[in-house]
Structure 1
Amino acid sequence: MGIADSAAAESINAGERGYTQSVPFEARTVAEFDTPWAIAFLPDGRMLITEKPGRIFLVSASGGKTEVEGVPEVAASGQNGLLDIAAAPTFAEDRTIYFTFSEPGSGGSSLALAKARLGISGPSAKLEDLAIIWRQAPKGRGGQPGGIIEFAPDGQHLFLTSGDRMRPKTAQDPEQALGKVLRLNLDGTTPEDNPLVSAGGVQAQTWTSGHRNPYGLAFAPDGKLWLHEMGPRGGDELNLVVAGQNYGWPLVSNGDNYSGSRIPRHSTRPEFTPPALYWNPVIAPAGLVFYDGGLFPQWQGSALIGGLASTALLRITFDADGNADEAERWNMDARIRDVAVAPDGSVWVIEDDNPGRLRRLTPNAIAN
């Protein structure tokens, strides 16, 4: 049995799971934002938070907000806007940050990856030495931008998700940087050891293909890279990211088109890598982090995923063979856009709303 066949046999549908009745945490509102999109913790416990309309804030653990100046113009409409943000592995030495956004231009917008230094002087903060180090081309219309940043454990490379922008066929087009996971050097150039580096161009930067709308990307403690992505009408996926693999969108899916027309299932095309876990009905996953902290020891090594349509926070567990399963799902009564773990082990979530709350999760008395 091949890798794809084996994974297909072990793929699990978690879509029928209900909410977990017992909630082991208390959620305290710390601040509010206009449609916040991403959280990035800094080493000192402060965080950077993006707002989709085009603002970045430096935020203290108590909720104090400082707007960061120097953010470039953003094409904010529908699903597009200011997206992910991440502190570089070298942030403690050079204050470098990365962020993604929908860059406006002739013909529409496109995903852009920017690098800058976070300058902090007294009560003020601004982006310095800003540079766009990667752009998807050509520009066009449509949502589903992707835009998630994740640094490799070696600190020498970064991974970037790029959605299909509602142009499904691009996910299978090797010359289009849409529907892909890309692997880049920290300056945006192409690593010499990428799978297709000899092909040049988009192919040289492509790590995996056949993705629809990836809004979660994170390394597990064992060094494996995991991704989740939104399916069409059904078929949200959690995928183990393996270099060179094609995950099949739009040729296969465990969901169907919004028109009602059926899409062939993963089991019909063993050449494509199927999900380790899928949801039907959907959860609309957004945000992905592996828990590593002391406040919730029972979650150690679990993945936490925010749910938009499901208005939930989900905990995913992994067995010794790497198989994934949904262990718990907690009702948050709000669309959860991102989830992050603070240096003190608390879990933070933001809501996809205006105002969207920033909330800190800590163990409740029952859990203790």
Structure 2
Amino acid sequence: MSRKISVLMMALAVSACSSQQSSATATASASGGDASATATASTTAGVSAAMRVETLAQGLEHPWSVALLPDGSFLVTERPGRLRHVSADGKLSPAITGVPAVFAQGQGGLLDVVLAPDYATSKRIWLSYAEPGDDDTAGTAVATATLNDNALSDVRVVYRQAPKLTGGNHFGSRIVFDGNGHVFISQGERNDRPTAQKLDMLQGKLVRLNLDGSVPKDNPFVGRKDARPEIYSYGHRNMQGMALDPRTGTLWENEHGPRGGDEINLPQAGKNYGWPIITNGIDYSGLKISESVGTSAPGMEQPHHFWAKSPGLSGMAFYTGRPGSAWNDSLFIGSLAESNLIRLSLKGNAIAGEERLLTDLGARIRDVRVGNDGNVYVLTDEDDGKLLRLKPPGAK
């Protein structure tokens, strides 16, 4: 497909009241949660008055993740189970062969794609996906493979969620390397709420592995007969975005609440993030979550930040190390439910402001990545999904 580029000069107003900020503040848990966590019901003033938006490619079927290749081209996953190469000038390849079979029902399918830390020499990539099991069950899985032109070879599964469950919801999932020989894998609780608190099941857990798929000896539950050793943290609902802060090496993740209560966490080893015992949301029916005791409980962590009204959080990426840019020290997060891109301005780990971008597009934003060129790359989750390039205000 030939490249189609449309350039839109946008005067992007901040949605809601630009000078107001929600006064709802999450209280610290009895175990010492972060009392600065805030529920954002409106947004604060931003600076993105004239960014440029370019459509690099379109015709993607519900794209889920984009990886930026060193030569300026891209890898894009499509949820039905296709991996596509997008050239730097926007041409779409045929489906790359050798991708593992996926469970493509509901929210399942081919999910995250990232380059291995040694990609420059190994040409290895990592994929997360919903893996089919027996009797119409499925679970989140992660595989590595070598990328050769338009085919994958030496495909090796390094992680499988256990046990596999029925249903088509809450697979997660994102893959992040910590730079110290480990990989973090996020996943959902498969819409089976109690599993998130069960340490003998992998649903609703953040997993930490060595790069060969083995379990690090210092994982918090290693040696416990009642717990899976892969688990790093637990009590998560459906983790849709995850990124490492380049400034500090701190891992950040976001996850969907039910009706309200989408949140950001900074996961720590062995900690319980509360779902479904504590939550800032309610059931989709409008009723209280049956297992919930409220918004806090002893031994359970408070979110670093949460939204009283769920944006439907998705992919996330840090924009740092560019002091001349209007977007420096920002965290970008896609929004599915509100069909926009959230920019959080940061002061250290504190969230100092919030801006909504791409609202005029009316498209669900599934993934966001920051390039070495200082631009931001975004996927829209549609039947005719697009890969967009955002040039920050003032960029030439």
TM-score normalised by the chain length of structure 2: 0.86
For structure 1, which segment, 340-349 or 46-55, has the greater mean C-alpha deviation from structure 2 after superposition? 340-349
Provide the secondary structure at the position in 2 that maps to 1:241: coil
Which stretches in structure 2 are left out of the alignment for 5+ residues? 1-26
Structure with more of its chain in helix, by fraction: 1
The CA distance in 2 between the partners of 1:213 and 1:131, in whole Å, is: 25
CA contact (8 A) 1:76 1:102 kept: yes
Which stretches in structure 1 are left out of the alignment for 5+ residues? none
Of 42, 61, 70, the residue aligned with 1:16 is: 42
For structure 1, which segment, 228-237 or 270-279, has the greater mean C-alpha deviation from structure 2 after superposition? 270-279
Whether 1:158 and 2:187 are equivalent positions in the alignment is no
* Count, aligned residues: 361
Whether 1:243 and 2:243 are equivalent positions in the alignment is no
Of 60, 83, 93, the residue aligned with 1:56 is: 83
The CA distance in 1 between the partners of 2:312 and 2:49, in whole Å, is: 21
The CA distance in 2 between the partners of 1:81 and 1:296, in whole Å, is: 39
Provide the secondary structure at the position in 2 that maps to 1:255: coil
Q: How does 1:1-368 map to 2 (within 5 A)?
A: 6-17=32-43, 23-32=49-58, 33-66=60-93, 67-107=95-135, 108-120=137-149, 125-142=150-167, 143-154=169-180, 156-199=181-224, 203-220=228-245, 221-263=247-289, 264=292, 267-292=295-320, 294=322, 297-320=325-348, 322-330=349-357, 331=359, 332-364=361-393
CA contact (8 A) 2:187 2:206 kept: yes
**Pair 1:266–1:305, CA change in 2 (3 A):** farther
The CA distance in 2 between the partners of 1:38 and 1:346, in whole Å, is: 17
Displacement, 1:153? 2.2
CA contact (8 A) 1:116 1:131 kept: yes
**Pair 1:91–1:248, CA change in 2 (3 A):** same
The amino acid of 2:387's aligned partner reads L
**Pair 1:303–1:73, CA change in 2 (3 A):** same
Provide the secondary structure at the position in 2 that maps to 1:268: coil
CA deviation profile, 1:143-183 (whole Å, cap 9, x unmatched): 110121000122x1100011000000000000110001000
The CA distance in 1 between the partners of 2:157 and 2:31, in whole Å, is: 40
CA contact (8 A) 1:247 1:274 kept: yes
The amino acid of 1:135's aligned partner reads R
Displacement, 1:138? 2.2
**Pair 1:295–1:37, CA change in 2 (3 A):** farther
CA contact (8 A) 1:52 1:80 kept: yes
The CA distance in 2 between the partners of 1:246 and 1:306, in whole Å, is: 25
Provide the secondary structure at the position in 2 that maps to 1:169: helix
TM-score normalised by the chain length of structure 1: 0.92
Displacement, 1:7? 3.4
CA contact (8 A) 2:44 2:353 kept: no
Provide the secondary structure at the position in 2 that maps to 1:92: helix
**Pair 1:364–1:318, CA change in 2 (3 A):** closer
The amino acid of 1:134's aligned partner reads Y
Structure with more of its chain in strand, by fraction: 1
